[in-house]
């Protein structure tokens, strides 16, 4: 029964996504010869057509990637891939903890190896064709090795901890596992700015006194205590620009990509930061964290129940091993299969995110000037070859940020 439900959801997901994507492709292509009025004085037709090409290429690529992902999912579950690996490891490894960790590692390795050519194609073909890629093959391999090392160093203790409480904490393991998960997230938040990010990029203090003064004044005006201003060599990997906040308490810092500083003037940078401060002022970050932790608890409770149901394994193509723990199996099945069902929550998450973006824009307009934010946004849309004419249905379903036209209309007219 669950097999049928799983297949039905998988097929409906694929068909529905394909329908959304074809809408987007048609919409973008239909508008490729006309820059929307709001932008016609600032964005040329060639830029607009380049954005249409880039958007379409990304969608076509993601359609292929998704078909392969679905094939891998079915191969691992219903076609017996997971069952095969589990049996082999059961013969090879006696220690239950090691056997289960090896099972998780094997599945992650398979997914990683299959994902690698896609990631390479995206960078060296797709991004390169539109002039965004700066990654050399050597850096690509180096990044992959570092990511693997971090996944092992951080992921292995996390997986071992969760498996341990599943085996030893009785019926309460769900709460312990959730506690581990929450603690792990805080650990990452703490490690990211000071340990993880510097493994990939160089961070140097912002060397522009005038801009630093403006930013400190803005932070003070907004009641935001600032630990430091850093510039990151984002240009090492990509021409896309960005800025973000990271860390908490006294260690809170603002990080600019060098690509962003190269393109925006001081007024525009200030407006972009005011937008980010808007997220902070409206407590969007805390709200998102609370939502994510609550959802994690719901998922763990659900997993706690599913892991005791024999049909959860057998209907997904795996026979649980008799007399041995099947906790890793339950975890893997859950994480593989869950997205097929949670996909339908995407529009709700996107809608909440867009509402937050409008709020942050409004805050930036109050603190700085809406004109500066508009000109920054126009430059960013143009530089990133983001489409100005998305299909409304596709956008409502997926987009975390409101379409450019709506954002700018709101900034102009309040």
Catalytic residues: 276, 361
Report H helices in 77-203: 81-92, 96-121, 128-129, 137-150, 156-168, 173-191, 197-200
Distance CA 322, CA 246 (A): 47
- To the question of whether residue 279 is assigned a binding role by annotation, the answer is yes
Residue 93 Cβ vs Zn ion, minimum distance, rounded to whole Å: 47
Classify residue 138 as exposed, middle or buried by CB count within 10 Å of its CB (0-12, 13-18, 19+). exposed
Site map (CB under 5 A) of Zn ion, residues 319-338, x = contact: --------------------
Site for Zn ion in 165-194 (CB under 5 A): none
Question: Least CB distance from residue 400 to Zn ion, whole Å?
Answer: 9
d(CA 176, CA 166): 9
User: What residues from 358 to 377 belong to the interface with Zn ion (CB under 5 A)?
Assistant: 360
Residue 90 CA to chain centroid, in angstroms? 34
Q: How many residues bind Zn ion (CB under 5 A)?
A: 2
**111-115 long-range CB contacts below 8 Å, 24 or more apart?**
111/72, 112/148, 114/68, 114/72
Residue 210, marked binder: no
Query: Closest approach of Cβ 69 to Zn ion, in Å?
Result: 28
**CB-nearer residue toward Zn ion: 360 or 408:** 360
- H or E stretch covering 244: strand 243-246
Shortest gap between Cβ of 360 and Zn ion (angstroms)? 5
Stretch that binds Zn ion, among 51-59, 130-138, 164-172, 354-362 (CB under 5 A): 354-362
| Residue 159 or 380 with smaller CB distance to Zn ion | 380
| Closer residue to Zn ion (CB): 134 or 284 | 284
User: Contacts with Zn ion in 136-165 (CB under 5 A)?
Assistant: none
Closer residue to Zn ion, CB minimum distance, 135 or 364? 364
User: Interface with Zn ion by CB under 5 A: which range of 20-28, 153-161, 176-184, 351-359?
Assistant: 351-359
CA 283 to each of CA 116, 324, 366, 369: distance values in angstroms, whole numbers, following the listed order: 36, 46, 17, 22
Taking CB under 5 A as the binding criterion, the range among 214-222, 248-256, 293-301, 352-360 that sits at the site for Zn ion is 352-360
Q: Please say whether the dihedral angle defined by the alpha carbons of residues 367, 372, 376 and 377, taken in this order, is positive or negative.
A: positive
**Residue with Cβ nearer Zn ion (357 or 383):** 357
Stretch that binds Zn ion, among 9-17, 47-55, 339-347, 349-357 (CB under 5 A): 349-357
In the complex, the smallest distance separating the C-beta of residue 285 from Zn ion, rounded to whole angstroms, is 10
Residue 314 burial (CB < 10 Å; 0-12/13-18/19+)?
Answer: middle
Specify whether the CB–CB gap between 328 and 101 falls below 8 A: yes
Q: Taking the CA of residue 168 as centre, how many other CA atoms within 13 Å lie in the half-sphere pointing to its CB?
A: 8
Q: List interacting residues with Zn ion (CB under 5 A).
A: 357, 360
Summarize the annotated binding site as residue ranges: 275, 279, 357
Summarize the annotated binding site for Zn(2+) as residue ranges: 275, 279, 357
């Amino acid at each position: 029964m669950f097999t049928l439900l799983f297949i039905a959801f998988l097929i409906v997901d694929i068909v529905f996504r394909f329908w959304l994507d074809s809408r987007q492709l048609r919409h973008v292509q239909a508008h490729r010869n006309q820059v929307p009025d709001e932008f016609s004085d600032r964005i040329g037709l060639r830029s607009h057509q380049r954005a249409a090409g880039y958007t379409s290429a990304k969608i076509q690529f993601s359609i292929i990637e998704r078909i392969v992902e679905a094939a891998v999912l079915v191969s691992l579950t219903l076609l017996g891939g997971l069952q095969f690996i589990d049996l082999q490891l059961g013969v090879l490894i006696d220690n239950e903890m090691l056997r289960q960790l090896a099972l998780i590692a094997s599945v992650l390795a398979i997914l990683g190896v299959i994902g690698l050519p896609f990631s390479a194609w995206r960078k060296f073909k797709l991004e390169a064709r539109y002039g965004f890629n700066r990654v050399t093959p050597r850096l690509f391999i180096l990044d992959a090795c570092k990511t693997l090392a971090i996944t092992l160093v951080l992921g292995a203790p996390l997986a071992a901890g969760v498996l341990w409480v599943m085996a030893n904490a009785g019926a309460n393991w769900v709460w312990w596992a959730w506690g581990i998960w929450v603690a792990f997230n805080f650990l990452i938040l703490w490690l990211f700015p000071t340990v993880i990010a510097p493994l990939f990029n160089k961070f140097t203090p912002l060397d522009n006194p005038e801009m630093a003064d403006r930013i400190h004044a803005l932070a003070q005006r907004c009641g935001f205590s600032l630990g430091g201003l850093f510039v990151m060599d984002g240009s090492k990997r990509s021409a896309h620009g960005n800025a973000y906040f990271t860390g908490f308490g006294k260690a809170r810092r603002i990080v600019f990509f060098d690509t962003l500083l190269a393109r925006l003037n001081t007024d525009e940078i200030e407006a972009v930061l005011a937008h980010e401060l808007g997220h902070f002022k409206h407590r969007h970050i805390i709200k998102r964290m609370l939502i994510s932790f609550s959802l994690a608890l719901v998922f763990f409770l659900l997993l706690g129940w599913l892991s005791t149901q024999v049909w959860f394994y057998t209907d997904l193509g795996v026979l649980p091993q008799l007399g041995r723990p099947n906790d890793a199996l339950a975890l893997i099945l859950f994480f593989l299969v869950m997205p097929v069902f949670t996909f339908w929550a995407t529009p709700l998450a996107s809608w909440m995110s867009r509402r937050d973006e409008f709020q942050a824009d409004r805050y930036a307009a109050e603190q700085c000037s809406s004109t500066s934010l508009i000109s920054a946004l126009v430059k960013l849309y143009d530089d990133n070859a983001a489409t100005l004419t998305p299909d409304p249905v596709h956008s409502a379903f997926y987009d975390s940020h409101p379409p450019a036209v709506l954002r700018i209309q709101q900034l102009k007219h309040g």
